[in-house]
A and B are shown apart, each in its own frame.
Chain A
Amino acid sequence: MMEILEGSHAVAEAVKRCRPQVIAAYPITPQTHIVEALASMVADCELDADYICVESEFSALSACLGASAAGSRVYSATTSQGLALMFEVCFNVAGMRQPIVMTIANRAMGAPLNIWNDQQDSISLRDAGWMQFYAEDNQEASDLHYIAYKVAEDHDVLLPAMVCFDGFILTHTYEPVDIPTQEEIDAFLPPYNPVNILDAKNPMSLGMYATPDYYMEFRYEIEEAMKRSRKIFAEVGAEFGETFGRDYSGMVEGYRLDDADTAFVAMGSICGTVKDAIDEMREDGKKVGLLKIRSFRPFPSEEVKASLAGVSKVAVLDKNISLGQKGAVALEVKDALYGTGTEVLDYIIALGGRDVRKRDVRAVADLAEKGIGDRFYGLRTEVL
Chain B
Amino acid sequence: MDTIQTSIFRRRIISNLFAGFGFLIILFSLATLLMLVAYLLYQGYPRLINAESGFSFNWKFFTSFPSRFPEEAGIYAAWVGSALIMLVTSAFAIPMGVAAGIYLEEYARKNWLADLIEINVTNLAGVPSIIYGLLALGLFARQFHLGQSIITAGLTLGLLILPVVIVTTRESLRAVPDSLREAAYALGASRWQMIWDHILPYSIGGILTGVIIGLSRAIGETAPLITIGALTFIAFLPPTPLKVDPTFPFFQVSFEWLMAPFTVMPIQMFNWVSRPQPEFQINAAAAGAVLVFMTLSMNTIAILLRYFLRRGIKW
Do A and B pair up? The answer is no
